[in-house]
Amino acid sequence: MAYALQQLINGVTLGMIYGLIAVGYTMVYGIIGMINFAHGDVFMVGSFLSLIALLGLSAFGITSVPLALALTLLFAAGIAALYGWTIERVAYRPLRGSFRLAPLISAIGMSITLQNFVQVSQGARVKPVDAIIPGGIRLMDRGGFAVQLSWMQIAIVVITLTILGIFTWLVTKTPLGRTMRACEQDLKMASLLGIDTDRTISLTFVIGAALAAVAGFMFLLYYGVIDFYIGFIAGIKAFTAAVLGGIGSLPGAVLGGLLIGLIEVFWSAYFSIEYKDVAAFSILIIVLIFMPNGILGRAEVEKV
């Protein structure tokens, strides 16, 4: 029981991270109908940017934890947003209206480029960092097993929920959100009605990348170690989350992220840690085959 509770806590924390990445996939898919394969690597870049910011801040002697967290978050999200904007501009925008698989292939190229760019520039070795917020609460102690809720986990959940709250407000209550939803409904119509669709699509990438960078920062905090390869696997899991939740649906992405996080943690805890990625991949396949519309997605009717 205690063990399961601990897994639940860990699963929710991990699920938050996946959810944040999944939002980026689902937004882009909702608007231009492409799988932004490089999104996982933007998450990885965000993670590295956070690491660089943390190292830079400590070099300048900034030791206040809240200040360091806030500055790192701003820096990572800001620069990652620039990455998102550039990627869309360079690799996807010229391909709008090209043959169907062109954007996907370009995205794969972009993913490879980002991975190897970081490998070449920052080195292939794993990067360990010390825990920034050590300690935690001991929730219960039963049968020699202590259930821990670390401050870090609390920080991750709180930051994620705050960011998601801001994001939800942005999408539902602002003119920007309205244009985004209009583009999602019907891109061509939105453009006929005078919405600058290019700008909206750019903004989607910018927001998605910023969220991915937040997730990257959380990942760095949670695991304390990153390398250039984390984006690939985390990206696929987050994509699975987006599909599971119903691609195109924002609450679905967060829900899917939580589910994938929980499944992964429980699978590792009770079955086999070696095959935890197989679990995620299998879910992806099963979901796509048996419920391609996901939990909260809309059904697609084939037009002939």
Partner 1 sequence: MRGALRDAFLSALVALGIFGPMVGLVSTSGDHGLSLQVRPIAVAVVVGLIFAGRLLILSWRGGGPRQRNLALAERVARAGKYITPILLLAAIALPFTGSRYYIDLGTLVLTYIMLGWGLNIVVGLAGLLDLGYVAFYAVGAYSYALLAMTFGLGFWTCLPLAGILAALWGVMLGFPVLRLRGDYLAIVTLAFGEIIRIVLTNWVSLTNGPNGISGVPRPTLFGLAFSMDGGPGTFGDFFNIEPAVIQRIIFLYYVILGLALLTNWVSLRLRRLPLGRAWEALREDEVACRSLGINVRNTKLTAFGIGAMFGGFAGAFFATRQGFISPESFTFMESATVLAIVVLGGLGSQLGVALAAIAMIGGLEALRDFLSFLGDQMNSPVFAGIASELPLYRVLIFGIALVVMMVLRPRGLISGRTPSVALTKLKEIAPDLVAESRS
Partner 2 sequence: MLAVADLTMRFGGLRAVDSLSFEARKGDITAVIGPNGAGKTTVFNCITGFYRPTTGTIVLTHPNGGTYALQRMQGHRIAAAAKVARTFQNIRLFAGMTVLENLLVAQHNTLMAATGFGVLAVLGLGRYRTAEAAGMEKARHWLDAIGLTARADDPAGALPYGAQRRLEIARAMCIDPVLLCLDEPAAGLNPRESEELNQLLLRIRDEGCSLLLIEHDMGVVMRISDHIVVLDHGKKISDGTPAEIRADPGVIAAYLGEGEEDEVPA
Binding residues for partner 2 (CB under 8 A): 301-302, 304
Taking CB under 8 A as the criterion, the residue among 132, 139, 170, 236 binding partner 1 is 236
Q: Which of partner 1, partner 2, none has residue 213 at its interface (CB below 5 to 8 Å by kind)?
A: none
Residue 134 identity: P
The encoded tokens of residue 1 equal 């029981």
| Residues found in the chain | 304
- Cα dist. 50→76, 210, 219 in Å? 5, 12, 10
Three-state secondary structure call for residue 38: coil
DSSP string covering 161-205: HHHHHHHHHHHHHSHHHHHHHHHHH-HHHHHHTT--HHHHHHHHH
Identify the CA nearest to 211 among candidates 9, 50, 49, 42: 42
Minimum distance of partner 1 from residue 179's CB (angstroms): 24
- Binding to partner 1 in span 123-182, by CB under 8 A: 123, 125, 127-130
Q: Which lies closer to partner 2 via its Cβ, residue 125 or residue 303?
A: 303
Helices vs strands, H then E, count in the chain: 11, 4
Q: Tell which residue, 5, 23, 56, has the closest CA to residue 253.
A: 23
CB of 130 to partner 1, least distance (A): 7
Q: Which of 2, 71, 122, 154 binds partner 1 (CB under 8 A)?
A: 122
Cα dist. 234→21, 121, 132, 237 in Å? 8, 21, 22, 5
Q: Which is nearer to partner 1, 2 or 129 (CB)?
A: 129
- Report in angstroms the alpha-carbon separations of 245 from 1, 176, 198, 219: 28, 24, 27, 21
Taking CB within 5 to 8 Å according to partner kind, which of partner 1, partner 2, none is near residue 288? partner 1
- Work out the number of other CB atoms within 10 angstroms of the CB of residue 65: 12
Q: Say which DSSP state 212 is in.
A: H
Q: Is residue 104 near partner 1 by the rule CB under 8 A?
A: yes
Q: Which stretch binds partner 1 (CB under 8 A): 106-114, 134-142, 208-216, 251-259?
A: 106-114
116 binds partner 1 (CB under 8 A): yes
Is residue 218 part of the contact set for partner 1 (CB under 8 A)?
no
249 is a site residue for partner 1 (CB under 8 A): no
Residue 216 or 297: the one with the smaller Cβ distance to partner 2 is 297
Residue 115 lies near partner 1 (rule: CB under 8 A):
yes
Contact status: 296 vs partner 1 (CB under 8 A): no
Contacted entry of partner 1, partner 2, none for residue 301, CB cut-off 5 to 8 Å set by kind: partner 2
Q: Are 68 and 141 in contact (CB under 8 A)?
A: no
In the complex, the residues that contact partner 1 under the rule CB under 8 A are 34-35, 45, 48-49, 51-52, 55-56, 59, 79, 82-83, 85-86, 90-91, 94-95, 98-106, 108-123, 125, 127-130, 232, 236, 239, 274-275, 277-278, 281-282, 284-285, 288-289, 292, 302, 304
